[in-house]
Structure 1
Amino acid sequence: MRAHEAGWAHAEGALKGPMWLREPADVNSLVPLLWSATARKVDGVLEVGGVRLPDLVAEHGSPAYVLDEADFRARARAFRDGFAGYDVYYAGKAFLCTAVARWVAEEGLRLDVCSGGELAVAERAGFDPAHIGFHGNNKSEAELRRAVRLGVGRIIVDSFHEIERLARIATELDAVAPVMVRVTAGVEAHTHEYIATAHEDQKFGFSINAGDALEAVRRVLAAPGLELLGLHSHIGSQIFDSSGFEVAARRVLALHARVSEELGVTMPEMDLGGGFGIAYTTQDDPADPAQLATEMTKIVEHECRALGVAEPRLSIEPGRAIVGPAMCTVYEVGTVKRVALDGGASRTYVSVDGGMSDNIRTALYDADYSCTLASRASSAAPLLGRVVGKHCEAGDIVVKDEFVPGDLAPGDLVAVPGTGAYCRSMASNYNHLLRPPVVAVRDGVARVVVRRETEDDLLATDVGDAGGTVDFGEMGEMGDDA
C-alpha cells in the first residue's frame, strides 16, 4: 500500500499503475505472450483465428468469448507430447462444453470433472468414461452412482464419509470403482490463498502429517467394491515453477513407500496435480510444458531411487494452462469518464457492456488483466485507464490498470486476453445480465459452441407464484388464532 499524510493520491506513484506496467511505445501493438497464437492486428483491427473481431461482434454481439481452436489444440498437444508417458487430464472446471470435450479427446488427453454437470457434458460429448477422473470434496450420492454406472476411470475420494458411501454404491451396483486418495502434503504454493490447495487448513484431501491419509488408504483397501489406484496431490493453481512439486512429491512418495512397506500394497499410479500458470500480464512468465515435465520427472526418479520403490505411472492436471490463453473476451465501450480526485489527480474509467458477471476473477482474486483496442488503429497518446463493467458494484472491475488510447470512445471494441479459464465457467446472471456466447474461430470461420443466453432462458426457471395468491387484507382479519 502506498501511503501519504495528505492522502493516497499524493503518494509517489499513485495513479501511475503497478511497477511492472510500462507505457507502450505503440498503443496499438500486442504483447504476444498474452494472446493466443493466431491473434494479430491488421490495420489496428484485432483478428483471432483469421476472424476480424468487429465482424464477429456484428454477427454475434458483445460481449463474447472468442476461443482460438488452433491455439487450444496446440497447447493440448504441447502438454501431451511434453509429458509423454504421463496421463494428462484437462481441467473441465476451467472451461467445458461438448466441443471442447471432443477436442480434448481428439488430442489424446484425459478429462477431469468435479460435478455431475461436468460429467453430463462429457457424457453428451461421447467422452470415454475410462479416461475421466472425478474430483470433488462433497460428491453427492447421485453423482457417485452415475460415475460408477458410467465406468469413470478414477474417482478421487476426499473424505472418510465418501469412502463409505462409494463402497456401498459400488456393492449395490455390483461394480468396482477405481479410487485415488487425495492427500494434502502441507505445501503452500506461491499463489493466491483461495487457490492454494495443499496446505493443511483447507477443505480438500486427507492430511499426510496428521495420519489421515494413511488411514484413508487402509479403509479403501478394506472396503468392498473399491480398487486403490494410488495417491493424488494438488498444491494449487497459477504455479510457474516446480519447486513446490519437489517438496510435495517427496512427502507423497514417502507415503507411497510406507503403504508398500507396511500394508504390502504397491499402488500403480500417482497424480502430481499441476495448476500451471499462464501470462495474464507482462509480470507473468509461464514455463514450457516440456521443461516442467523434465523437472518433475527428475524429482520423482530421484525420490523413488532414494526410497527404493518402483516409479508409479504418473498423471498431471495442467489446469488453466491449456484453455486460459486460448480465449479472449471482446466488449463494446459504452462510456469513458474522467474522474477528478484529491490533489489534482484523476482516473479514467472505461465502461464496457459486460463485467463481473462474465469475469469475476478480478473482484474475487484481485486478478490482473490486460486489454487492447480491437476495432481500429489509434494515433492518440497512451492513457492509463481502468476498464470496468456495467454492474451496480463499485468493485465491478475487469482490468485494474492498462494503457489505452487517449481517444478511446463509445462504440469502440476492447479485447481482454487470457479469459479462457474460469471466466465462462464462473459466469453468473448478476443484475440479470445474460451470459455471453463462446464463439470458436479457426481458419477464418467463426462458429458458436455455446450460444448467448436469452431473456427466455433467464425467465425459464422463474415459475412465478406457483402456490397462488394470498389476500393479505383477509389475513389481517383472521385474528391471533390464524
Structure 2
Amino acid sequence: MKQKYERPTIKKMNTGLMNKFGTRTDFDPVKDIDGVPVKNLIAEYGSPVFVLSEKQVRRNYQSAVRSFKTRYPKVQFAWSYKTNYLNAICKIFHQEGSWAEVVSGFEYHKALGNGVQGNQIIFNGPDKKEADLVFAIENHSLIHIDHFDELYLLIRICEQNNKKAKVAIRVNFDTGVYPIWDRFGFNYENGQAWTAINKIASAKNLELIGLHCHIGTFMLSTSAYSVASKKLCDLAKRCKVELQNPIEYIDLGGGFPSTNTLKGAYLPGIDTVPSVEDFAEAITSTILDFGFTSDELPTLILESGRVLIDDAGYLLGSVIANKRLSDGRRATIMDFGINILFTSNWYDHKISPAQEGSQYTEETVLFGPLCMNIDVVRESINLPLLETGDQVVVHKVGAYNMTQWMQFINMRPAVVLIDQNGQSHQIRKPETLEYLEMMEQIPEHLK
C-alpha cells in the first residue's frame, strides 16, 4: 500500500542539559498530539484525558506485519484484546487485517460485536466458562486449552452436543528466562504437553490444529523466542510423524516490549529494548531452519499487544499544586494518579511539559491526587518548574491503562482518538456519578 505523504518539518536544535549518560535531557514542551493542541484537547474533553493516535497505531501494526512477512511466507496477527479493548481501537486493528485474541467470555463477545468472524477469534485463558466454550464451538473459533480440567470439559461438551472443536494447547517450557511462566498451559520438559496432545488425538470430537505458547511479558531476550520456536516445532514434527496429525499453525503469543523504561533500569528503554525486527529474525529463522518442507511450514500467529499500541497513547493532565516535603524535595501534585495510570507501577514514563517554561529544572516527585501514600506517578524526575494549572503529557500509555484502570476516589476520564486527518473523536465518555451508581441497589429498610 502506498504510504501517505507527510510534509517534512524543520525544528530548531537546542543543546539543552546533559543527563548522566552524556546525552541531552529533553525538556522541549509537547504542545500538540498529531497537530491537535494539548490545550484544545483539555479544554474540550477535560483534564485528565487519554489521547490515542490512529496514525501511530496503524503505522506500528503495518511495520510489525512487514517485519514478519518479509521473513516468513505465512503470518497472521491477532490483536490482544486485554491490552486495550476499546472498540474503536480494536476496529482499527481489524481493519488492518488482525484477528482477535481473547481471554474471557466478555472479550469474546466484544470481538464478535466488532465484526470478527468466529473462525478468526483465538480463545485463550484458564477461565473459559462452559457456556463460553459452547458458544466458541458453535462459532468455529480456535480454542487454546490451558489445563486438563478444561480438556475434559471440552470433550464432554462436544460429546453432549455432537460438535467438533478446533483446538490447540498452550505449552510452557524453559527458555532460559526466569522465573518460568509455568502457571499456564502444559509443560514441555516433563512430558505433560505430549500427554495432553495424545489425549486430544484420541478424542473423536477434538481436532488438534495448533500449538501455542506465551513465554512472558515485556521480554527483552530474542533468544528466548528462538528456544520457544524450536520446541514448538519439535512438538509439531512429532504430531505429524507419530500421530499422523499435521499442525496447521504455531502461535508464539505476545510479550514483545515497548520502549518504555522499566523501573530500576540503568539505561532508558529506547536504548535497550530489541526491535520487532530483532524478534522477527529470531523466530522466523528458527522455524525456517528446523527442516520443514515448504508445504509443511505452519502458519505463524503473533498475539502482540503492548508493542503495537503503547507509544500511540498519551495521558494529558494538569498540575494541582506544589509543595516541599520534609526532606526538602520538591513535590508536584497532578490531577491523575495510579488509579488511571496503572503502568506507573512498572515504568518510569517519559513526562513532558505542555507549555514553554523555565530553563531551570529541579528533581521532583510527581504525586497523584489520591488519598494514599503509594499514589506516586514518578518517584524522581528532573522537570522545569511547573505551576498550578500547567499541563503535562505522559508518553507511551496505550497498553493496559484503559483496561486495568479503576474508579477509586476519582472517576475514569474520557478517551479521545485523533484520526489520520487530525480530527479528534471521543471514543469513551468520562464517567459520572450516575454511571458509577447504575449497578447499586438499596435494600428497602435503608431507603
The interval holding the TM-score normalised by the smaller chain is 0.7 to 0.9
* Residues 392 and 247 of structure 1, relative CA distance in 2, 3 Å threshold: same
| CA deviation string 1:125-167 (max 9, x = no partner) | 1122221111111211122222223332x11110111112223
* Residues 110 and 20 of structure 1, relative CA distance in 2, 3 Å threshold: farther
Identical columns (%): 27
- Asked if residue 142 in structure 1 is aligned to residue 131 in structure 2, the reply is yes
Counterpart of 1:54 (choices 32, 36, 39) is 39
- Asked if residue 444 in structure 1 is aligned to residue 422 in structure 2, the reply is yes
Q: 5 Å matches for 1:96-115?
A: 96-115=85-104
Q: 5 Å matches for 1:121-132?
A: 121-132=110-121
Which TM-score applies when normalising by structure 1? 0.81
Given that 2:166 and 2:208 are in contact with CA atoms closer than 8 Å, whether structure 1 keeps it comes out as yes
Residue 82 of structure 1 is matched in structure 2 by 67
Residue 151 of structure 2 is matched in structure 1 by 163
**SS of structure 1 residue aligned to 2:236:** helix
* Residues 298 and 329 of structure 1, relative CA distance in 2, 3 Å threshold: same
Q: 5 Å matches for 1:309-348?
A: 310-341=296-327, 346-348=328-330
Quote the Cα distance in structure 1 between the aligned partners of 2:318 and 2:269. 27
Structure 2 unpaired stretches of 5+:
1-18, 262-267
* Residues 321 and 260 of structure 1, relative CA distance in 2, 3 Å threshold: same
**How far did residue 21 of structure 1 move?**
7.3
Residue 140 of structure 2 is matched in structure 1 by 151
| CA deviation string 1:355-397 (max 9, x = no partner) | 111122333xx432110111x1113312222222112221112
Residue 358 of structure 1 is matched in structure 2 by 340
Q: 5 Å matches for 1:221-260?
A: 221-260=201-240
- Asked if residue 381 in structure 1 is aligned to residue 369 in structure 2, the reply is no
Q: How many residues align?
A: 417
Greater Rg over alpha carbons, structure: 1
Quote the Cα distance in structure 1 between the aligned partners of 2:294 and 2:43. 63
Letter in 1 for 2:334: V
Which TM-score applies when normalising by structure 2? 0.87
| CA deviation string 1:49-98 (max 9, x = no partner) | 22111111111111111000010011111122222221111111110122
* Residues 26 and 265 of structure 1, relative CA distance in 2, 3 Å threshold: closer
**How far did residue 120 of structure 1 move?**
2.0
Q: 5 Å matches for 1:29-44?
A: 44=29
* Residues 236 and 430 of structure 1, relative CA distance in 2, 3 Å threshold: same
Quote the Cα distance in structure 2 between the aligned partners of 1:367 and 1:188. 24
Letter in 2 for 1:159: H
| CA deviation string 1:167-200 (max 9, x = no partner) | 333344443221110000122547xx6xxxx533
Counterpart of 1:394 (choices 373, 383, 389) is 373
Q: 5 Å matches for 1:59-70?
A: 59-70=44-55
* Residues 227 and 293 of structure 1, relative CA distance in 2, 3 Å threshold: same
**SS of structure 2 residue aligned to 1:340:** coil
**SS of structure 1 residue aligned to 2:194:** helix
Residue 295 of structure 1 is matched in structure 2 by 282
Quote the Cα distance in structure 1 between the aligned partners of 2:87 and 2:339. 22
Letter in 2 for 1:439: V
| CA deviation string 1:226-283 (max 9, x = no partner) | 2211211111111234111112222222222233333232212111223111111433
**SS of structure 1 residue aligned to 2:297:** coil
Counterpart of 2:435 (choices 453, 457, 470) is 457
**How far did residue 320 of structure 1 move?**
0.5
**SS of structure 2 residue aligned to 1:79:** helix
* Residues 173 and 336 of structure 1, relative CA distance in 2, 3 Å threshold: farther
Residue 199 of structure 2 is matched in structure 1 by 219
**SS of structure 2 residue aligned to 1:378:** coil
Quote the Cα distance in structure 1 between the aligned partners of 2:193 and 2:25. 54
Quote the Cα distance in structure 1 between the aligned partners of 2:22 and 2:105. 44
Q: CA RMSD in A?
A: 2.4
Given that 1:185 and 1:252 are in contact with CA atoms closer than 8 Å, whether structure 2 keeps it comes out as no
Given that 1:178 and 1:229 are in contact with CA atoms closer than 8 Å, whether structure 2 keeps it comes out as yes
- Asked if residue 199 in structure 1 is aligned to residue 178 in structure 2, the reply is no
Quote the Cα distance in structure 2 between the aligned partners of 1:131 and 1:418. 29
* Residues 136 and 26 of structure 1, relative CA distance in 2, 3 Å threshold: closer
Given that 1:23 and 1:382 are in contact with CA atoms closer than 8 Å, whether structure 2 keeps it comes out as no
Given that 2:58 and 2:92 are in contact with CA atoms closer than 8 Å, whether structure 1 keeps it comes out as yes
Given that 2:208 and 2:245 are in contact with CA atoms closer than 8 Å, whether structure 1 keeps it comes out as no
Quote the Cα distance in structure 1 between the aligned partners of 2:81 and 2:55. 18
